Amino acid sequence: MDFAGAYSGDFLIFLLQGLLITLKIALISIILSFTLGTLIGIIRYARVPVLSPVLAVLVELLRNLPLLLIILFSRFALPDLGLRLGPEGAAIAALTVFEMAMISEVVRGGLNSIPKGQVEAARSSGLSSVQTLRYIVLPQGLRRMIPPLVSQFISLLKDTSLATAIALAELMHNAQIIIGHSYNYAIPVLLLCAAIYFTVNYLLSLLSRRLENKGV
């Protein structure tokens, strides 16, 4: 084990560059998958005809496939269908589609957990179904969704490491390149990466706790 060699300036900068890519991919995918997932969750909660059952099948399929397969598919199979994505694009597309399915289930569960009596009361006091969703169900549902949503975001951040399989220059990919220089760097570099992932995820879970207490 060579801690001093592994933590030399060049290597640390290289890891930092990887971390920035990891954070960038994670942030973009979180925003996209949260938006799409919420939309799908609402459509399925409201049982929109035609759309809802189709999305149900899509969500069920995506949830039961390995994310790595979806990542490889986006990078290597989509070009044959006429859509050529670089490593970044493919990683974002795959993470978004997969996490969107997971998040839609969280959203649907959160909305369903609001007692039906509240919806009935809102409707009979004259609110439209959209107003009921907007002012009664969503605000309460969202608060309950915060903990599972944040743990989903933490999974997403961890899962960005799978994009190393399509040579995206994120943290784990750069770590592997450093380890390629010498096996003596393996444990020091991996422990440093673990500390980095841990810190970012821990900050995320702290944020979740604060949001929960504040009630958004």
Partner 1 sequence: MDFSLLSDNIGLFMQGFMNTIWASLLGLAGSFILGTIIAVFRMTRSRPLVWFGTAYVEFFRNIPLLLVVFLFYLGLPSLGITLSGFASGTMGLAVYTSSFIAEAIRAGIMAVPKGQTEAARSSGLTYVQTMFYVILPQAIKLVIPPLSNQFINLVKNSSILSIVAGFDLMYYGDIVATETFDTINTYLFVALFYLIITLPLSYGSRVLERKLARHD
Q: List residues binding partner 1 (CB under 8 A).
A: 1, 60-61, 63-69, 72-73, 76-77, 80-81, 154, 158-162, 164-165, 172, 175-176, 179, 183-184, 186-187, 190, 193-194, 197-198, 201-202
With respect to partner 1, which residue has the nearer C-beta, 138 or 171? 171
Q: Least distance to partner 1 from the beta carbon of 199, Å?
A: 9
At CA 66, angle to CA 159 and CA 110, rounded to 5? 70
With respect to partner 1, which residue has the nearer C-beta, 52 or 184? 184
Label residues 15-36 b or e (16+ Cβ within 10 Å = b).
beebbebbeebbeebbebbbeb
With respect to partner 1, which residue has the nearer C-beta, 63 or 210? 63
Q: Specify whether the CB–CB gap between 176 and 126 falls below 8 A.
A: no
Q: How far is CA 131 from CA 49, 63, 118, 125, 173, in A?
A: 20, 31, 13, 11, 47
With respect to partner 1, which residue has the nearer C-beta, 95 or 122? 95
Q: Least distance to partner 1 from the beta carbon of 110, Å?
A: 17
